[in-house]
Chains A and B, each alone.
Chain A
Amino acid sequence: MDVMAIVEGFLAAAVRVATPLLLAAAGETVAQRSGMMNLGLEGVMLTGALAAALGAAVWGPWPGAGVAVVAGMLLSGVFALVAIGARTDQVITGTAITLAAVGLTGTIYRQAFGAAGAGLDLPTLSPLAVPGLSRLPIVGRAFFGQPAPTYIGLVAVPVIWWFLFRTRTGLALRATGEAAAVARASGVPTGLVRASATIVGGGFAGLAGATLVLAQVGTFAERMTAGRGYVAIAIVVLGRWHPVGVALASLGFGAAMALQFLFQTLGLKVPYQLFLMLPYALALLALAGVVGRVRAPADLGKP
């Protein structure tokens, strides 16, 4: 078999699998930089996935993605409202949001598509080849022959970097996450900043869920996010709260998850559950190596 083709296929799969992680983690980076740890991310992503499926079934894939973004913003808005408005514990509030999302999506899905959960056949986002670049050897297909969400994720990275480190609003947002009291004393409306950051993060997570449905699986299944929202949170930590680090960590996880395809191509027989475990185990290992040497925003998770 052609080694080049295998590497190319592996890379393309890695980037494809990494895309939802990248989107969710990029948005969560903004939220965590403002001091919000949204454990509801898993639920927000799941809600985005269902919203995308419903929207796409009615209006087509792009409006479906739009519906997913709105749904993600709404659900994370609830999280922000409770956690900021009533200063409740972010971890427990986020857990409750995810629980609610599991219940809601399950109920709505069965109501809309029938109890058995027959596979849906949804219109999907097909790959958009970037003229010229997609022909590049090895990396062409991986980075320039993907469906649109991948490009959105890749563009979001420098945009978020610029926003966080080169704008006054970004400075105020980081100050809110580092020392909310100081930011407040400097005239920053910290509650508003945190709520906005969380809602923007929710929009990204919604799009991440949509990507899963519209650009990867082509259908919705209950609990289909299977912990990717939590992995995205781990990625933010691994990426040291920096957009570029987060992008690299996402690609790393994508690669780990794509190993399954590589092994299949190579005809190696390894129980698929090992691949299911891999990203989580890897996240734990990586966290152990990274945390302690990096510092989280000082006011992360504090009401």
Chain B
Amino acid sequence: MPALELRGIHRSFGSVHALRGADFSLLPGEVHALLGENGAGKTTLMHIAAGLIQPDRGAVLIGGVPRPGLSPRTARKLGIGMVHQHFTSVPAFTVAENVALGAGWPVAPDALRRRVRKTSERAGLPLDPDARVDHLSVALRQRLEIVKALAAEARILLLDEPTAVLAPTEVGDLLRVIRRFTSQGGSAVLITHKLDEALAAADRVTVLRRGQVMLTGPAADTTAAQLAVAMIGEGAGDERTEPPSSGARSDAGPLVRLEGVDVAGEGELGITLRAASLTVAAGEIVGIAAVEGNGQRELLRAIAGRIQPLRGRRWVTEPIAFVPEDRTTEGLIPAMTLTENVVLGSSSTEPWIRGRTVDWRTAEARTAALLEELAISVPGPWVPASSLSGGNQQRVVVGRELSRRPSVVVAENPTRGLDIRAEATIHAWLRRAASDGAAIVFYSSDLDEVLALATRIVVARRGTLIEAAPGATREELGALMLASG
């Protein structure tokens, strides 16, 4: 009898059908990889298993018992522990307080400290109970998430893209811990979009595409090619694997030049960038490969002129296009119209700026033309940005920035959370901007995207930049990203 079974699950969000009759079963003691591209419905399916979302149709069975109207609380009581992609701990709390919160343990400090230490060490995931979470590294924060689930006596672990924030050797450690958990009778679902990882770690694999199961079976009987076809359809994978050619033009001087730049760390994962030097020529696409929180964000924002460096020299040719990571809080103002969002940050040379006033009629006409050119189908430039899908919002951000004919384009995770089509569009735009003579610097948390798009790769590690050798492989880059020292 499966430990967890989902039968004929349907779920829509508005007009988007996230799941269309998906079936899934998890056997006791197995590691089950759930594969699929962004937007395939993997997370939604597991949220339904954890009681976080209710299905429109279909049944959830835990230990063979149907659980209609499953609540998160009941799911937890039945031994389901979800480790989310975004961390679900209280940053200002200690490790011990977070475990107590998640597991419902008493909070008497000494007993709690001992209990947390014991649980984490038994799972092979040692943690300091008194450390404050906002001072932990990403890998340790993820470790805490798993310890929380184990403390709540989870028998079924649902791990949502746990390897996305880890470097290759850390991934190995994590997979060993999961193995240890299943060998003691637990079961685990590993959500991922990386084929090799699924084949290496799992007993069985299930592939979702557009809310439907395309393939399910033992990992040993499945090849990477079969998985690829199931995930993205016949021939759809070609554009990603096409090796980009270097478009650097040596005739003109560099458009970006940093020399010995130090930048203070920003945000909760911030780290100080030290003595960074980087030169980017027109036509080049430089990809920054890094594990979350290694100074890449500081580097990109310093290039884009959004943070002032502490010291060092910076020459960057204006105009600069900047695509920030978070489109809804940094890229756009959701409550404003598309026209207003296009006017946001426009320089005084734009046709709609008349001295100190804005000619809204011109701005609206130009926005309409831009939307047409970008093939974004919306009722018109007067709709609020919040009414657009995530993919279209990102198209607007990137389109707006590129429409300013930038000399330099800086992009942070430009396709995060987008579907394949939006991702392909944005890649094509960035390549075109490069071939039009812009210098492009981007960072992606997906190493495959860096490999696919960059003509040159630079690794950021602990606030230091390392130039990768031309033609470096995934494994070589991984080693650089994590090398100690």
Contacts and interface: CB of A to CB of B under 8 A. Distances in A.
Interface centre among A168, A174, A182, A295 (most CB of B within 10 A): A182
A263 interface: no
Contacts of B101: 171-172, 175, 182-183, 186, 188
Interface in B88-144: 88-93, 97, 100-102, 104-108
A187 B90 contact: no
Contacts of A185: 52, 72, 84, 88
A178 B93 CA distance: 9
Nearest to A165: B107
Contacts of A175: 90, 93, 101
A72 to B, nearest CB: 29
Nearest to A170: B107
Interface centre among B52, B92, B97, B101 (most CB of A within 10 A): B101
A90 B324 CA distance: 30
B187 to A, nearest CB: 21
B160 to A, nearest CB: 13
Given A168-B104, A179-B89, A181-B88, 6 more contacts: A168-B107, A174-B93, A182-B90, A185-B84, A186-B102, A295-B92
A107 interface: no
B76 A187 contact: yes
A140 to B, nearest CB: 35
Interface of A: 165-168, 170-172, 174-175, 178-179, 181-183, 185-188, 295, 297-298
Which 3 A-B pairs rank lowest in CB-CB distance, beginning with the nearest? A179-B90, A187-B73, A178-B90
Interface centre among A172, A182, A183, A186 (most CB of B within 10 A): A186
Contacts of B92: 178-179, 295, 297-298
A165 to B, nearest CB: 7
A168 B100 contact: yes
A90 B100 CA distance: 30
Interface residues of B, number: 20
26 contacts: A165-B107, A166-B107, A166-B108, A167-B107, A168-B100, A168-B104, A168-B105, A171-B101, A171-B107, A174-B90, A175-B90, A175-B101, A178-B91, A181-B88, A182-B90, A183-B90, A185-B72, A185-B88, A186-B101, A186-B102, A187-B72, A187-B73, A187-B104, A188-B101, A295-B92, A298-B91
A211 to B, nearest CB: 32
A171 B97 contact: yes
A171 B88 contact: no
A248 B72 CA distance: 42
A298 B93 CA distance: 11
Nearest to B75: A187
A179 B91 contact: yes
A208 B89 CA distance: 36
B151 to A, nearest CB: 11
B88 A186 contact: yes
Interface string B27-53: 000000000000000000000000010
Contacts of B93: 174-175, 178
A156 B482 CA distance: 52
A185 B71 CA distance: 11
Nearest to B86: A181
Contact of B106 (A168, A183, A187): A168
Contacts of A298: 91-92
Contacts of B97: 171
A225 to B, nearest CB: 32
